[in-house]
Structure 1
Amino acid sequence: MTPPWVHLFRACVFPGWSLAPSLYHFQFGPWSTLPSDGTPEYSPPEWILFGCYHGQPATIWTLGILLYHLVCGHLPFQTNEDIVRGQLFFPPRVSQECQHLIRWCLSMDPADRPSLEDLFEHSWLQEPCLAQETAEIHPCAQ
């Protein structure tokens, strides 16, 4: 049985297993410099360093933060300095595939982050891998 948080993550990324245009940040031109009233812990490093971001990579960053929080039970970064440093620490129960996906989403360079299509194809989001991972995280869900 797949735990509810997996369905939540999938719904955020792929409602109805199709791409979600609503996930893309609204933009005026290629870079947005609008003030952010969002949660600071979800801010991508380019926003902190330069005061601007590109919608798609910023969305992927936010999904990486969300996935980390769902899998690990806490946010990966607490301060702007933590975000800019970019060091991630995972509990031992988190598989290498899951860590790879999160690290990919939280790449410091926005150009190195995956697209939504790339996320959909990542091996960790495929059913057999998810079933094994979630059984280890939530032993009662078996």
Structure 2
Amino acid sequence: MKHLFYAALLLLSLSACRNSLEERAAQECKEYTEKKCPTPVVNDTRMDSMVFEAPSRTIHYYYSLVGKADNEQAVHAKRAELRKALRDALKADPGSKGYKDAGFNFQYTYRSGATPSKVLLDETYTKKDY
């Protein structure tokens, strides 16, 4: 009987320390942003931040396009290709599997590096997309 009590107590203490998936997403996004953002520019793209939006269960990535990629007309002309590339990358990303399995949404917002108030591309992916 004593062993059963200790096993139950151990199980209860382990489950009490466990965060919900939403809390984990918020914490991971916050930590990533604080430690790594803004990232170095790679292929004329820089990640500015990553945020978890709890009401919509969305992991939202914010990027800036710089140099040659900071071109509104080119982004608009290639929007379908860019959307497909983002979707394919999301599908292939093993790091987001737990969030995808839970039905989270993923949003990617790309702003102009020269004019940060200008959104060049804003795409959201839901469970039906990945």
- Taking structure 2 as the reference length, the TM-score comes to 0.24
Which protein shows a greater Rg? 2
Q: Is the helix fraction higher in 1 or 2?
A: 1
Higher relative contact order (CA 8 A, sep 6+): 1
Q: Normalising by the residue count of structure 1, what TM-score does the alignment of the two structures yield?
A: 0.22
Point out the structure with the larger strand share.
Answer: 2
